[in-house]
Amino acid sequence: MDYISTRGSDGPLSYEKALLNGLARDGGLYLPTSWPKFTKSEIADMKHLSYAELAGRIMAPFTDGILSEAELTEMAADAYCEFTHKDVAPLTSLSDDNLHILELFSGPTIAFKDYAMQFLSRAFDKALTKAGKRAVILGATSGDTGSAALEAFKGREAVDVFILFPEGRVSPVQQKQMTSVMADGAHAIAVKGDFDDCQALVKSAFNDGTFRDEVGLSAVNSINWARLMPQIVYYFASALRVGAPDKSVAFSVPTGNFGNVFAGWVAKQMGLPIEKFIVASNRNDILTRFFESGEMRRDGVTPSLSPSMDIQVSSNFERLLFEMLDRDGAKTAQLMADFATTGLFDVAPSVMDKMKSEFSAYRLDDDGTLAEISYMKSTYNMVIDPHSAVGFYGARMARADKLVGDDTPIIALACAHPAKFPDAVEKATGTYPDLPAHLSDLMGREERFDVLENDLGDIQSYLKTKRRR
């Protein structure tokens, strides 16, 4: 399997090159040259597999010629061995509404990013050892990616990790998870700006070819294709539990950077029968506005109760756009250039029709988020975090609006433990959620981080100074 850029002028290249490059040299995002397909009978045969075995089966086509299914299974088993639930990604059915919650917070940092990041750290180890290289990982986070990356990569001799987060715009628990990592080579950096500023700094650093080569820059944000691969797995795992492949399913995904929902779209390309994707946004609703109007228009970011979704530049949307434009890299590059310059692009009605056939979108403001958390507690005796509340609301509305039939299971992704956002949960339910045992002392841990200006030169100088040689 080879990889190409969404902007048409980088590739084809191998899985390992795409992994270590992170962002394509032309500024685009890597995708495989074709989508592997499983037959209905092959998907049915996956029902007996463990989660690690399923991960190996699903990801093997993407690493063909580099890593075998057996190697991937072993890596996944190691990555998920300390997750706190035996099912790794447990699914809870809610009464008789044919609504289901996929709980993606049994990993070490109690957020869905652990599923990708724990695997990714092992993938980097293998690739760097084989190449005899070191890497400097630079990432931006709106909250959960940073803690998952620092936890997964801490103490690894061949990697230094630098994570940019928006100063004052992550939850106290999210910040403490990042800034309390004291391992050599682990660096949390508060940037004076919002998440989109942090993400822009990362992309600018990658687009500086001289700097990129000098420090051996690589990425763990979802701009890195290998970050999305492990996320495809839990779409298969959950769909199989509710009747796939004999029954089609729908997924509601709380979405900011579009990576998680795009991983689900890939699962559909691989043969999983998915009827609809529900894109659920908070008050920063650029994606919902796009699916309503066909116009992608960037506005300012307003802080919300679901800070991991406080985004106005959804990087992974470029991958879907490339696919919907029939993999025309030149057209994709032009639209992305327009968006970078003007904060706006639109697509032809025919392209929009294709997108709307697969995606629907909802938004939920902070008051609605609190109401949804309260509704879940009173109706199902389940406590969820603000992001998961946005996703569950999207599932309920899609059912109420008849976008998804009553016979089709809707799986809403619960992407973080409620204790990551205790103030919002307490306000909605009257109960302050406790952190899991392994994090019970988190808020008392020592912090270590630096505050930098929203300036590329400052970031680059910091990396050069702090990286290990």
pLDDT 10s digits, 238-259: 999 999 999 999 999 999 899 9
Q: Is residue 17 part of a domain?
A: no
Q: How far apart are CA 353 and CA 294, in angstroms?
A: 9
> 294 lies in a domain?
yes
> How crowded is residue 344: how many other Cβ atoms within 10 Å of its Cβ?
12
Domain that holds residue 389: 82-111+225-429
Q: Is residue 95 part of a domain?
A: yes
Residues belonging to the active site: 113
Q: Looking at the domain assignment, is residue 383 inside a domain? A: yes
Mean per-residue pLDDT, 82-109: 95
Q: Which amino acid is at 281?
A: S
* Beta bridge partners of residue 411, listed in sequence order: 100, 251
Task: Give the CATH number of the domain where residue 370 resides.
Answer: 3.40.50.1100
Contact in structure between 276 and 45 (CB atoms under 8 Å): no
pLDDT in tens, 336-347: 999 999 999 999
At 261-306, the pLDDT tens digits run: 999 999 999 999 999 999 999 999 999 999 999 999 999 899 999 9
Instruction: Provide, rounded to the nearest whole percent, the portion of the chain with pLDDT above 70.
Output: 100
CB burial of residue 81 (10 Å; 0-12, 13-18, 19+): exposed
DSSP labels, 258-306: SHHHHHHHHHHHTT--EEEEEEEE-S--HHHHHHHHSEEE-------S-
Q: Which strands make up the sheet holding 410-414, listed edge to edge?
A: 91-94, 99-103, 410-414, 249-254, 274-281, 359-363
Residue 217 falls within a domain, yes or no?
no
Decide which of 469 and 400 is more confident: 400
312 or 362, which is more confident: 362
Number of helices (H), then strands (E), belonging to the chain: the values are: 19, 16
pLDDT of residue 97: 84
State mean pLDDT over 205-226.
92
Classify residue 414: in a domain, yes or no.
yes
For the stretch 439-467, pLDDT in tens is: 999 999 999 999 999 999 999 999 999 99
pLDDT classification of 180: cutoffs 50, 70, 90: very high
Residue 447's CB: how many other CB atoms inside 10 A?
Answer: 12
Confidence band for 155, pLDDT divided at 50, 70 and 90: confident
| Confidence class for position 96, pLDDT limits 50, 70, 90 | confident
Phi/psi of residue 163, each to 5°?
Answer: -120, 125
Determine the pLDDT at residue 54: 98
Q: Please report whether residue 235 resides in a domain.
A: yes
pTM as predicted: 0.94
Name the nearest CA neighbour of 225 among 2, 411, 68. 2
Tokens of 373: 């958390």
Q: Are 230 and 115 in contact (CB under 8 A)?
A: yes
pLDDT of residue 157: 85
Average pLDDT, the chain: 95
What total of structural domains would you count in the chain?
A: 1
Check: CB of residue 251 under 8 Å from CB of residue 333.
no
What pLDDT sits at residue 144? Answer: 86
How confident is residue 156, by pLDDT bands cut at 50, 70 and 90? confident
Q: Is the pLDDT of residue 78 over 90?
A: yes
Q: Is 398 inside a domain boundary? A: yes
CA separation for the pair 123, 71 (Å, rounded): 10
pLDDT at 173: 95
Q: Which residue is it, tokens 């390992």? A: 16
Q: What is the pLDDT of residues 128-152, one digit of tens each?
A: 999 899 999 999 998 789 999 999 9
Give Cα 250 to chain centroid, integer Å: 18
Return the SS3 of 252.
strand
Among the listed ranges 34-48, 101-115, 294-308, which one has the minimum average pLDDT value?
294-308
